[in-house]
Amino acid sequence: MLSEIAKKKISELKTKFPERKSAILPAMHMVLEEVGFYNKDILKQVAGLLGLSEMEVAETVSFYTYFPKEGVGKYHIQVCTNLSCMLLGAEGLVSYLEEKLKIKVGETTPDGIFTLSAVECLGSCGTAPMMQVNQIYYENLNRAKIDQIIDDLKMKK
Amino acid sequence: MVTLTIDGKQIIVEEGTTILKAAEKLGIEIPTFCYHDQLETVGACRMCLVEVEKIPKLQVACATVVSEGMVVRTDSPQVVNARKGVLEFLLINHPLDCPVCDKGGECELQNLVFKYGSDKSRFVEGKRRYIVDPKSKYDDLAIGPHIIRNMNRCIQCRKCVRFINEIAGEDDLGTFKRGSKTEINILPDIPIDNPYSGNVTEICPVGALTSKSFRYKIRVWQTEAIPTVCPQCADGCNIRIWKKDERIYRITSRRNDEVDEGFLCDKGRFGFDFVNHPDRLKNPLIKKNGKLSEAPWDETIKFVTSSFMKIKGETGSDSLAGVGSGKVTNEDNYLFQKFFRSVIGTNNIDHRVDSKNLLPSPDTQIRNKYFGMKNTINQIANSKLILVLGCDLEKEHPIINLRVIKARRKGSSILVANPVSTRLNRFAQNGLLYKQRTETDFLNGVLREIIETKQYDNAKSGFSSSEIEDLRRKVSSSDSLKALQTTGIGAENIKSFVNALVKAESIIILCGAEIISNPKNVEIINSLYDLIRLTGHQDKDNSGVNLLWKHSNSQGTLDCGILPDRLPGYVRISGKPGLNFNLMLEAVNQGKIKAMYIMGSDPLSEYPDREYVKSTLGKLEILLVQDILITETAKIANVILPGASFAEKEGTFTNVEGRVQKLNKAFDPLADSKADGQIICLLAQAMGHEFEYRTPKDIFKELTGVSPIYSGMDWETLGLSKKQGKVK
Ligand code: SF4
Ligand code: SF4
Ligand code: FES
């Protein structure tokens, strides 16, 4: 699934770090850019290119909610449910999103547009509550803001 | 040396010691979860927090190294509070399903909460659950043939994954996600299936990883643990049998750092089915009109002894022969040879039924070349280079294999040379594949390279220049050069192989079954000795050539004189030696041997030429087989005597490194079976000989008197102290 150029770039990463495992994240960024998600075969390929075991790659990738798995919707909504966001109402926002999108956390809308996840701290406590949709942060959220964001995304499709 | 005080008690310890270790020496307990002395310390769980004077925050005892004048408190209010706090955190998401948890009664979390935890819970929210399948009982998930995972109970110490990575050198278990969602798992559809997987059930402090075969069968406190020794291979891991009444429920490690370092292989841990197997032989059987039928003991003993006496009377003692086994105890084997030598009156005794190529018998000075291991199991991990030759180490000697992996972790080089690739090859700096039966040609090539490039250690080798010249001539002959071509190993590979060998500070060579039963076994072993000498390692501690026997008591069987030409302790037979197994078969075919008594061996499955053995043994007037199950050989016997399994008797096994270890009886022999030694006594007594031994201890005592190499060993303390019971 990876292009020859990406494969080449990934295997070049091997020599760039004293610890080969460190190459997993930059490699996965390349995957994200090119494919947009990962699956079992991609992880296997990345492991092979970096000379690591599949397990090492899979463990690292699973640590970051940032990397979407195959089957994820076009827009991956990740709501932070860690301390600061929780204190400022993240729980209510999650259930609001569930209601609005008619899916539960961890699910994708039948049209494949939205996936809803609750995630750990995204390092934006100062602007809590917040969520991330694909690469973009939406901060200081409330219900009205969420309505607006979802509407905009639906328009864009 | 460093002096410090812990809880007001002073202690002097070596530099680099951790607070945890120092406290241990004082007998002060510091609770831990993520610490395991065989694994890298990670300091992750914070259970071991202690107070150190002049340091504002509490420190982890497992990772903090002592310093001069340090004052540590493990009992201050702060420490007590911290422990409570850590436990409270762990219990936030722990399901506390102790009533249905298999770990209940031996769970470290349960025990530490009992001891240090709070008596109240402040937690009212719902708990985290890892729902694997809404239909699964208690959220259990099978992650391999032996292991069931219940993630709800996991406390994220990661000891399981660290064991699999660091000790077993595998990667079929991993840590996924993070924070409170952290999950121990396998890769999708790739079950944990390495030969050491069962250890995680013992290492896991809670009921998150449990054993499929043990779980939900019984509560541990209803079982009794019997210390004994694993019967499955020659490594001799120390185990506990957990039994109730006459049934084994599980086997766990009884850590012995000289042997197993607290780990077992899955074969040893889970392979005990045969003991309580429904097919166990329950009564003596005699073949009548071509059919085996049950007979009482006294009738059977009478039948056997009168047949033996008749044959002895008609054609002499040498028309009988005995085959012992590396799978039964020293005491049983000792009695067996005594029965044949003193009651029957023949030296036709052997146990080597699995090869046509027998090694010469050693002499009393036991450092003979053809004798087992020169090194100890522990020395393997200290050698700078390990050469594994003709051996699938993981399969043949799982625990020794872990020592090689350990050496590798410590930076040693691993060389592997085999006819086919083995799993150890993944760790090999050099993994050579030679064509089967070209070992000598390959080794000659190696020796030649060392000699021709003058890379040998002239001074240390002790070879005279003429000896070197002889050796050079042999290995550099045109025949040798031609033969090297047939090995399938190129010159470049030999070069890099030799390069590693001559650079190494110590060399341990491990040879497996492929070498021991090789037609050129003697030649190969001699070449390996030359190799050790040429590289200047012959008198070093962490160097040497080691032959790894197959069975749990192969070494002891040799030691006890189950050989046609040696008495117990390798004392040479004064007169004409008896027949070895190969010659016994010939003698049967010539009509010279008429009766054979086989104890614990199964030549039909083990001998290289099954049809030949089968037709040969079929010609015997009397074939007496004594075993615990109907073996292939038993099927063609005319008399079968039911023996007791390792769990049903006392006795000793001598492991591959010559360590004599004690087996203890978990329960009486099942049904109407009897311990092998007891059966031999019955036979001897029926033939008018005294054989009055009350217990295996009496036999062992006699053995220590007769055999110079076991002399001075004491039954009561056998295997308890480190040195005890180690031959050499
Ligand atoms: S499964 Fe057991 S050993 Fe593994 S991390 Fe969890 S508690 Fe620790
Ligand atoms: S390595 Fe051998 S002795 Fe140890 S547990 Fe496995 S089979 Fe038993
Ligand atoms: S045992 Fe010290 S931090 Fe876990």
Query: What's the CATH number where B697 sits?
Result: 3.40.50.740
Report yes or no on A94 lying in a domain. yes
- pLDDT tens string A38-57: 999 999 999 999 999 999 99
**Ligand 3 nearest atom to the CA of residue B49, by list position:** 2
The length of chain B in residues reads 728
CA distance B319 to B534: 48
**Residue from A40, A62, A70, A91 to probe the interface with B (highest B Cβ count within 10 Å):** A62
- The predicted pLDDT at position A68 comes to 86
CA distance B373 to B512: 11
Co-location of B527 and B675 in the same domain: no
Report yes or no on B28 lying in a domain. yes
Co-location of B568 and B652 in the same domain: yes
Q: Flag whether pLDDT at B727 surpasses 70.
A: no
Instruction: Return the residue of A nearest to B188 by Cα.
Output: A40
The response to whether residue B399 sits with its C-beta less than 6 Å from ligand 2 reads yes
**Ligand 2 nearest atom to the CA of residue B232, by list position:** 7
- In single-letter form, the type of residue at position A13 comes to L
Co-location of B531 and B563 in the same domain: no
Query: Is beta strand B320-323 parallel, antiparallel or unpaired with respect to B595-599?
Result: parallel
- pLDDT band for position B726 (cuts 50, 70, 90): low
* Helix orientation angle between A40-50 and A24-34, rounded to the nearest 10 degrees: 130
Report yes or no on A69 lying in a domain. no
Quote the mean pLDDT of chain B: 94
Co-location of A86 and A130 in the same domain: yes
Report yes or no on A35 lying in a domain. yes
Q: Which of B172, B176, B188 sits opposite A40 (nearest CB)?
A: B188
Report yes or no on B275 lying in a domain. no
User: Hey, is B265 helix, strand or coil?
Assistant: coil
Burial of B241 (0-12, 13-18, 19+ CB in 10 A): buried
Co-location of B502 and B625 in the same domain: no
CA distance A115 to A68: 10
The average pLDDT across B393-405 equals 98
Task: Please judge whether A120 and B171 are an interchain contact, meaning their C-beta atoms are less than 8 angstroms apart.
Answer: no
**Ligand 1 nearest atom to the CA of residue B158, by list position:** 5
Q: Which of B34, B157, B197 to mutate to test the pocket of ligand 1 (most atoms within 8 A of CB)?
A: B157
Q: Which of B172, B173, B178 sits opposite A63 (nearest CB)?
A: B178
- pLDDT tens string B470-527: 999 999 888 888 888 899 999 899 999 999 999 999 999 999 999 999 999 999 999 9
Report yes or no on A68 lying in a domain. no
**Ligand 2 nearest atom to the CA of residue B269, by list position:** 5
- Residues lining ligand 3, CB < 6 A? B 32-35, 43-48, 60, 62
Q: Is A62 on the interface with B (CB under 8 A)?
A: yes
Q: Flag whether pLDDT at B8 surpasses 60.
A: yes
Co-location of A91 and A146 in the same domain: yes
The response to whether residue B377 sits with its C-beta less than 6 Å from ligand 2 reads no
- pLDDT band for position B237 (cuts 50, 70, 90): very high
Q: Which of A56, A63, A120 sits opposite B171 (nearest CB)?
A: A56
**Own/partner long-range contacts of B491-495 (Cβ < 8 Å, ≥24 apart):** B493/B430, B493/B432, B494/B442, B494/B445, B494/B446, B494/B449, B495/B449
> Cα–Cα distances in Å, from B133 out to B136, B139, B142, B592?
5, 7, 11, 68
- The predicted pLDDT at position B393 comes to 98
Burial of B711 (0-12, 13-18, 19+ CB in 10 A): exposed
Atom 3 of ligand 3, residue of closest alpha carbon:
B43
Q: Which of A55, A63, A120 sits opposite B187 (nearest CB)?
A: A55
Report yes or no on B278 lying in a domain. no
Co-location of A41 and A102 in the same domain: no
Enter the pTM of the model: 0.93
In 3D, which of B676, B390, B369 has the Cα closest to residue B525?
Answer: B369
Q: Which of B232, B377, B550, B656 to mutate to test the pocket of ligand 2 (most atoms within 8 A of CB)?
A: B232
* Residues whose CB falls within 8 Å of the CB of residue B343, separated by 6 or more in sequence, listed in order: B683, B684, B687, B689
Buried-state track B652-662, b at ≥16 Cβ within 10 A, e below 16: bbbbbbbbbbb
CA distance B413 to B578: 44
Q: Flag whether pLDDT at B356 surpasses 80.
A: yes
Report yes or no on A66 lying in a domain. no
**Own/partner long-range contacts of B468-476 (Cβ < 8 Å, ≥24 apart):** B471/B447, B471/B530, B472/B448, B474/B444, B475/B444, B475/B445, B475/B447, B475/B448, B475/B451, B476/B448, B476/B451, B476/B452
Co-location of A86 and A145 in the same domain: yes
B271 C-alpha to ligand 2 centroid (Å): 10
Structural domain of B13? 2-90
C-alpha distance from B178 to closest chain A C-alpha (Å): 5
Co-location of A48 and A84 in the same domain: no
How many structural domains comprise chain A?
Answer: 2
- Percent of residues, chain B, with pLDDT higher than 90: 87
Task: Please judge whether B187 and A58 are an interchain contact, meaning their C-beta atoms are less than 8 angstroms apart.
Answer: yes
Co-location of B25 and B76 in the same domain: yes
Co-location of A151 and A100 in the same domain: yes
CA distance B225 to B578: 43
- The predicted pLDDT at position B712 comes to 87
Co-location of B297 and B264 in the same domain: no
**Ligand 3 nearest atom to the CA of residue B45, by list position:** 4
**Ligand 3 nearest atom to the CA of residue B62, by list position:** 2
In 3D, which of A121, A56, A52, A108 has the Cα closest to residue A77?
Answer: A108
C-alpha distance from A156 to closest chain B C-alpha (Å): 32
- In single-letter form, the type of residue at position B366 comes to I
Q: Which of B171, B177, B181 sits opposite A55 (nearest CB)?
A: B171
> Cα–Cα distances in Å, from A78 out to A93, A152, B103, B557?
11, 17, 37, 68
Co-location of A96 and A142 in the same domain: yes
Structural domain of A44? 4-61
Report yes or no on B119 lying in a domain. no
Q: Using an 8 Å Cβ cutoff, are B209 and B147 in contact?
A: yes
Co-location of A49 and A13 in the same domain: yes
* Residues whose CB falls within 8 Å of the CB of residue B575, separated by 6 or more in sequence, listed in order: none
- pLDDT band for position B717 (cuts 50, 70, 90): confident
In 3D, which of B270, B269, B275 has the Cα closest to residue B254?
Answer: B269
Give, for B73, the enclosing helix (H) or strand (E).
strand B71-73
Co-location of B514 and B622 in the same domain: no
Task: Please judge whether B179 and A120 are an interchain contact, meaning their C-beta atoms are less than 8 angstroms apart.
Answer: yes
Which residues from chain B sit within 8 angstroms of residue A62, using beta carbons?
176-177
Instruction: Give me the phi and psi of B528, to 5 degrees please.
Output: -65, -35
Beta strands in B485-578 (DSSP E): 507-511, 544-547, 566-567, 571-572
SS (H, E, C) B408-459: HHCCCEEEEEECCCCHHHHHCCEEEECCCCCHHHHHHHHHHHHHHCCCCCHH
From chain A residues 77-106, the ones with a CB under 8 A of any chain B CB are none
- In single-letter form, the type of residue at position B679 comes to I
Co-location of B563 and B705 in the same domain: yes
Q: Which of A40, A59, A120 sits opposite B174 (nearest CB)?
A: A59
Report yes or no on A96 lying in a domain. yes
A35 C-alpha to ligand 1 centroid (Å): 34
Co-location of A54 and A86 in the same domain: no
> What secondary structure letter does DSSP report for B668?
P
* Position with higher pLDDT, B225 vs B289: B225
Co-location of A19 and A50 in the same domain: yes
- pLDDT tens string B591-637: 999 999 999 999 999 999 999 999 999 999 999 999 999 999 999 99
Instruction: Give me the phi and psi of B577, to 5 degrees please.
Output: -65, 160
- The predicted pLDDT at position B724 comes to 53
* Domain limit, last residue, from B33, B67, B90: B90
What ipTM describes this predicted complex? 0.84
Report yes or no on A19 lying in a domain. yes
How many structural domains comprise chain B?
Answer: 4
Q: Using an 8 Å Cβ cutoff, are B32 and B62 in contact?
A: yes
- In single-letter form, the type of residue at position B441 comes to D
In 3D, which of B205, B222, B19 has the Cα closest to residue B112?
Answer: B205
Burial of A45 (0-12, 13-18, 19+ CB in 10 A): buried
Side-chain half-sphere CA neighbours of A83 within 13 A: 4
Token pair recorded at residue B522: 């003697």
What CATH code is carried by the domain that includes residue B40?
A: 3.10.20.740
C-alpha distance from B179 to closest chain A C-alpha (Å): 8
Task: Please judge whether B178 and A54 are an interchain contact, meaning their C-beta atoms are less than 8 angstroms apart.
Answer: no
Q: Which of B194, B238, B261, B267 to mutate to test the pocket of ligand 2 (most atoms within 8 A of CB)?
A: B267
> Considering only B41-50, B291-300, B474-483, B487-496, which range has the smallest mean pLDDT?
B474-483
Q: Sheet harboring B413-418: ordered strands across?
A: B430-433, B413-418, B385-389, B507-511, B544-547
Ligand showing the shortest atom-to-Cα distance for residue B271: 2
Co-location of A48 and A85 in the same domain: no
Q: Flag whether pLDDT at B722 surpasses 80.
A: no
Q: Using an 8 Å Cβ cutoff, are B39 and B167 in contact?
A: yes
- Residues lining ligand 1, CB < 6 A? B 154-160, 184, 203-206, 208-209
Q: Which of A40, A54, A62 sits opposite B176 (nearest CB)?
A: A62
User: Hey, is B225 helix, strand or coil?
Assistant: strand
- The predicted pLDDT at position A36 comes to 86
CA distance B311 to B331: 27
CA distance B379 to B283: 46
Co-location of A88 and A144 in the same domain: yes
B92 C-alpha to ligand 3 centroid (Å): 19
C-alpha distance from A45 to closest chain B C-alpha (Å): 15
The average pLDDT across A84-94 equals 95
Report yes or no on B514 lying in a domain. yes
Co-location of B594 and B502 in the same domain: no
**Own/partner long-range contacts of B470-476 (Cβ < 8 Å, ≥24 apart):** B471/B447, B471/B530, B472/B448, B474/B444, B475/B444, B475/B445, B475/B447, B475/B448, B475/B451, B476/B448, B476/B451, B476/B452
Task: Please judge whether A55 and B174 are an interchain contact, meaning their C-beta atoms are less than 8 angstroms apart.
Answer: yes
Give Rg (Cα) of chain A: 17
In 3D, which of B203, B254, B206 has the Cα closest to residue B226?
Answer: B254
- pLDDT tens string B145-198: 999 999 999 999 999 999 999 999 999 999 999 888 899 999 998 999 899 999
Which residues from chain A sit within 8 angstroms of residue B171, using beta carbons?
53-56
The response to whether residue B230 sits with its C-beta less than 6 Å from ligand 2 reads yes
Task: Please judge whether A59 and B176 are an interchain contact, meaning their C-beta atoms are less than 8 angstroms apart.
Answer: yes
- pLDDT tens string B408-430: 999 999 999 999 999 999 999 99
The length of chain A in residues reads 157
* Domain limit, last residue, from B72, B90, B108: B90
Co-location of B258 and B323 in the same domain: no
Co-location of B349 and B412 in the same domain: no
What CATH code is carried by the domain that includes residue B201?
A: 3.30.70.20
Atom 2 of ligand 2, residue of closest alpha carbon:
B233
Q: Using an 8 Å Cβ cutoff, are B549 and B370 in contact?
A: no
The average pLDDT across B107-131 equals 92
**Residue from A55, A61, A105 to probe the interface with B (highest B Cβ count within 10 Å):** A55
> Considering only B112-116, B464-468, B500-504, B719-723, which range has the smallest mean pLDDT?
B719-723
* Helix orientation angle between A54-63 and A24-34, rounded to the nearest 10 degrees: 70
Q: Flag whether pLDDT at B258 surpasses 80.
A: yes
- The predicted pLDDT at position A135 comes to 85
Instruction: Give me the phi and psi of A8, to 5 degrees please.
Output: -65, -45
User: Hey, is B310 helix, strand or coil?
Assistant: helix
Task: Please judge whether A58 and B179 are an interchain contact, meaning their C-beta atoms are less than 8 angstroms apart.
Answer: no
Task: Please judge whether B187 and A54 are an interchain contact, meaning their C-beta atoms are less than 8 angstroms apart.
Answer: yes
Instruction: Return the residue of B nearest to A59 by Cα.
Output: B176
Report yes or no on A23 lying in a domain. yes
CA distance B146 to B462: 52
> What secondary structure letter does DSSP report for B718?
T
C-alpha distance from A155 to closest chain B C-alpha (Å): 33
Which residues from chain A sit within 8 angstroms of residue B179, using beta carbons?
120
Co-location of B80 and B55 in the same domain: yes
Token pair recorded at residue B625: 């087989």
* Position with higher pLDDT, B351 vs A67: B351
Side-chain half-sphere CA neighbours of B445 within 13 A: 23
Q: Supply angle C-alpha A84, A85, A89, rounded to 5.
A: 120
Q: Is A70 on the interface with B (CB under 8 A)?
A: no
CA distance B566 to A116: 78
